[in-house]
């Protein structure tokens, strides 16, 4: 019955459309006036619906501006059309309802759409990415960093996302007050018009895109690119479909995934074949890995009032093999992604996180390979063991024992939990017990205090991040205090009171804790046959504005240099990405005596496993990275969003632009070759994890071996 009515209405609509088209052809001027009058009449009769369209479209434009911050992306036509098509589609269903129910429906849809934009804005501020349906399981972790969300993430601007429901409500009340709400009637013809409009918008949107855009939508490595080309709502529809992938891996895509997996690893040898001067130099030694929370490389080069920000790390750097061009490769899993990539030389997944979504896969990891060599493996972290699903995933990675919050006396709290100083003191006692067993060991200790929001300033100790200068008289002589006899000082605020300044105070505390840990290990005799490996897990994720103040401070006016000043140091997208570099070093008695060196080749977290493997005598056929000492100038660091960098350039796949890192000409075809390499690497890594292909490959090999043995016996 309903279909007959719809067909009848559509027939009427079609007849009217033909009449209008004929009129336009025969009398264009009159037709234009007629169309304008009709459009005005249509708006006046459907004010609420058009307000709904405008305010919701405005909110999506607002989201793109607040996250990417460029008008080029804000005014990009394809995402505007895509978002408008979906907004129109959702709103059109109100015309199947009675007038008195239309506002409730449109208001509900608007609230949902505004909330989606708000959540994405908050998530982008914290993770520099857009939220995914597959990450719903990780929302619970925000409660553990709720102060961070409040202080560093939620901003006044985020309230603007609720402009849409508020505006819609005010318009509705205005219409109601003026008795402009029409009598009860169903409006299926208008529904058909709205649905048709959504379809037309979608067709125009599709016509503006290139084939490569759809390829990137399917892969969804670069969420920024998808949102900037397809709009936030198309992104979420696609993301929802992609989030179902793990549940249907046995039904769809397995053959393609296995094909790309085998093609990628077909020429990789089953055993290590390449050797260099570092091959086997640490074989059989104990390993202690320090996961330095939010530690950036820039910290090692900063001083305030003549006092080094990280004196202990600086001394350690001088006695280590230090990698000064090292980048982490985290996605939405942040710290857990670093642990995963460090131990497996695989990339984070494009949907979900390995620790939460793919903990039950089979991985080749550093703990597992060292256990084959007789090592005892353990990890230590004084946080809740369920955080990032570590209690489950560490076991999956091959750790024999995970010491978590329940194994520590929580006697001093800084930030999210037990202070690093107390954590290290208690961990040394546990490592002593492990060492007494006489078995070589591999242990990871995960720091916690230097975690956003860096709010416990009063607990970090005294480390001013201001500028202090001696006060001088007109003749340039020091001005003395009459009571103390000391030289008076002028104090300029500089980084005091800023997010970055508080971070530096936290870093200084973390560095003190590291110094005490090193001293404790030495005093306990635990460094005699041990190699210490330290890496920063990711950057502090603080705003560009604070870095601009750091580099461009004018003390006399307590302000920042104007952008047109020749001494102004710009912190744009590329500069900010380069600032996210983290420290990585390898220290032992041997490096202190003779092996200390500084390595400048660009290096990623996935290069750690093959580099350490060459030194300690283990090998993983499925590692994505390279032994940095066996590479020349051709190493590529691929990031989860599809960006990549080499010693020559940092390439942004979203914009198709690059930042030169050396003053030399880029060879013809260089970018295309590196881009293809990056895409293949990401595809192979994701396929391996999602489809559990290491396990499948081994099962096939074992099955073939059993078959051959049976034939031989026959």
Residue 184 has pLDDT above 50, yes or no: no
- Mean pLDDT (the chain, rounded): 85
**Average pLDDT for residues 150-154, to the nearest whole number?**
51
Determine the Cα–Cα distance for residues 37 and 271; give it in Å rounded to an integer.
Answer: 77
Are 230 and 220 in contact, with CB atoms under 8 Å apart?
no
Which residues touch 371 (CB under 8 Å, ≥6 apart)? 377, 398, 400
| 3-state class (DSSP) for residue 239 | helix
pLDDT digits (tens, 9 = 90+) for 587-643: 999 999 999 999 999 999 999 999 999 999 999 999 999 999 999 888 999 999 899
Domains of the chain: 23-243 (no CATH), 258-704 (3.40.720.10)
Q: Say if residues 432 and 467 touch (Cβ distance below 8 Å).
A: no
> Which pLDDT does position 256 carry in this prediction?
84
pLDDT top residue among 168 and 177: 168
Cis previous bond, 453, omega within 30: yes
pLDDT tens string 506-519: 999 999 999 999 99
Per residue in 547-572, pLDDT (tens digit) is 999 999 999 999 999 999 999 999 99
Ranges 192-196, 391-395, 466-470: which has the least confidence:
192-196
pLDDT at 398 over 90: yes
Q: How far is CA 217 from the centre of its chain?
A: 18
Lookup: tokens for 709: 């043995």
Say if residues 506 and 449 touch (Cβ distance below 8 Å): yes
Q: Are 209 and 318 in contact (CB under 8 A)?
A: no
617 with 340: CB under 8 angstroms? no
Q: What is the pLDDT of residue 147?
A: 47
Q: Are 369 and 609 in contact (CB under 8 A)?
A: no
Q: Are strands 489-492 and 467-470 parallel, antiparallel or unpaired?
A: antiparallel
Q: How many helices (H) and strands (E) does the chain have?
A: 25, 22
Q: What pLDDT is stored for residue 146 in this prediction?
A: 47
| Residues 275 and 519 sit within 8 Å (Cβ to Cβ) | no
Mean pLDDT of 25-43: 52
Query: Is the predicted pLDDT of residue 282 greater than 70, yes or no?
Result: yes
| High-pLDDT (> 70) share of the chain, % | 80
pLDDT digits (tens, 9 = 90+) for 81-109: 888 888 888 887 777 777 778 889 989 99
DSSP string, 36-92: HHHHHHHHHH-HHHHHHHHHHHHHHHHHHHHHH--HHHHT-HHHHHHHHHHHHHHHH
The confidence score (pLDDT) of residue 707 equals: 47
Q: Has residue 498 got a pLDDT over 90?
A: yes
Closest of 446, 345, 447 to residue 397, by C-alpha:
345
pLDDT tens, 667-694? 999 999 999 999 999 999 999 999 999 9
Distance between CA atoms of residues 34 and 110, nearest Å = 32
Mean pLDDT, rounded, for 422-439: 97
pLDDT at 7: 59
**pLDDT band for position 149 (50/70/90)?**
very low
Percent of the chain at pLDDT above 90? 53
- pLDDT at residue 658, as a whole number: 95
Distance CA 504, CA 498 (A): 10
Q: What is the mean pLDDT of residues 275-301?
A: 97
Q: How confident is the model at residue 287 (pLDDT cuts 50, 70, 90)?
A: very high
- Strand 376-380 relative to strand 441-446: parallel, antiparallel, unpaired? parallel
Residue 345 CA to residue 610 CA, distance in Å, equals 8
Does pTM surpass 0.75?
Answer: yes
Query: How is residue 373 annotated by DSSP?
Result: T
- The candidate with the shortest Cα–Cα distance to 374, out of 434, 421, 464, 442, is 442
If you average pLDDT over residues 71-78, what whole number do you get? 70
Greatest pairwise CA separation for the chain in angstroms: 104
């Amino acid at each position: 019955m309903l279909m007959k009515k719809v067909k009848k209405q559509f027939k009427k609509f079609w007849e009217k459309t033909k009449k209008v088209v004929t009129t336009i052809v025969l009398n264009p001027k009159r037709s234009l006036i007629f169309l304008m009058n009709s459009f005005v009449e249509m708006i006046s009769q459907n004010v609420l619906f058009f307000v709904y369209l405008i305010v919701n479209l405005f909110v999506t434009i607002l989201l793109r501006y607040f996250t990417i911050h460029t008008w080029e992306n804000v005014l990009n036509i394809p995402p505007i059309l895509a978002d408008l098509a979906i907004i129109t589609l959702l709103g059109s269903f109100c015309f199947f309802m009675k007038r008195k129910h239309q506002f409730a429906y449109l208001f509900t849809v608007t609230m949902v759409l505004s909330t989606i934009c708000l959540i994405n804005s908050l998530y982008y501020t914290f993770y520099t990415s857009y939220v995914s349906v597959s990450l719903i399981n990780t929302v619970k972790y925000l409660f553990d960093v709720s102060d961070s969300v409040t202080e560093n993430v939620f901003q006044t601007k985020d309230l603007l996302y609720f402009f849409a429901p508020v505006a819609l409500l005010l318009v509705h009340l205005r219409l109601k007050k003026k008795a402009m709400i029409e009598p009860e009637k169903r409006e299926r013809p208008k529904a058909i018009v709205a649905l048709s409009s959504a379809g037309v918008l979608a067709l125009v949107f599709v016509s503006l895109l290139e084939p490569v855009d759809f390829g990137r939508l399917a892969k969804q490595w670069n969420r920024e690119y998808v949102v900037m080309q397809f709009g936030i709502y198309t992104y979420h529809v696609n993301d929802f479909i992609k989030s179902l992938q793990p549940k249907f891996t046995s039904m769809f895509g397995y053959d393609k995934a296995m094909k790309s997996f085998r093609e990628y690893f077909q020429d990789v040898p089953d055993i290590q074949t390449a050797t260099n001067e570092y091959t086997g130099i640490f074989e059989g030694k104990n390993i202690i890995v320090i996961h330095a929370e939010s530690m950036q490389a820039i910290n090692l080069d900063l001083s305030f009032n003549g006092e080094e920000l990280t004196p202990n790390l600086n001394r350690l750097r001088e006695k280590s093999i230090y990698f000064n061009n090292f980048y982490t490769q985290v996605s939405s899993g942040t710290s857990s992604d670093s642990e995963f990539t460090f131990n497996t030389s695989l990339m984070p997944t494009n949907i979900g996180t390995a620790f939460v979504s793919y903990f039950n896969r089979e991985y080749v990891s550093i703990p597992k390979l060292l256990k084959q060599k007789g090592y005892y493996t353990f990890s230590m972290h004084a946080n809740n063991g369920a955080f990032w699903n570590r209690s489950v995933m560490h076991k999956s990675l091959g750790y024999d024992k995970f010491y978590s919050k329940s194994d520590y006396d929580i006697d001093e709290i800084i930030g999210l939990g037990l202070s690093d100083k107390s954590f290290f003191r208690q961990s040394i006692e546990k490592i002593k017990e492990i060492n007494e067993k006489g078995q070589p060991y591999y242990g990871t200790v995960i720091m916690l205090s230097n975690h956003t929001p860096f709010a416990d300033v009063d607990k970090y100790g005294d480390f001013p991040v201001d500028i202090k200068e001696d006060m001088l008289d007109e003749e340039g002589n020091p001005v003395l205090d009459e009571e103390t006899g000391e030289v008076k000082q002028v104090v300029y605020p500089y980084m005091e009171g800023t997010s970055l300044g508080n971070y530096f105070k936290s870093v200084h505390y973390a560095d003190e804790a590291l110094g005490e840990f090193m001293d404790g290990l030495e005093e306990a005799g635990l460094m005699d046959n041990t190699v210490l490996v330290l890496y920063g897990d990711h950057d502090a994720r603080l705003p560009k504005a604070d870095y601009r103040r750091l580099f461009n401070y004018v003390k006399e006016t307590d302000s920042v240099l104007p952008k047109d000043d020749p001494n102004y140091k710009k912190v744009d997208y590329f500069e900010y990405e380069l600032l996210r570099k983290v420290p990585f070093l390898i220290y032992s008695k041997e490096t202190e005596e003779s092996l200390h060196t500084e390595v400048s080749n660009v290096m990623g977290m996935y290069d750690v496993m093959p580099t350490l493997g060459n030194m300690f005598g283990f090998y993983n056929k499925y590692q994505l990275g390279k032994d940095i000492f066996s590479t020349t100038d051709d190493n590529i660091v691929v990031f989860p969003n599809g960006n990549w960098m080499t010693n020559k350039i940092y390439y942004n796949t979203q914009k198709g632009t690059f930042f030169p890192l050396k003053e030399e000409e880029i060879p013809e075809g260089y970018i295309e070759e590196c881009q293809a390499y990056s895409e293949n690497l990401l595809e192979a890594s994701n396929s391996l994890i999602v489809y559990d292909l290491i396990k499948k490959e081994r099962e096939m090999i074992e099955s073939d071996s059993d078959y051959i043995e049976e034939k031989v016996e026959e």
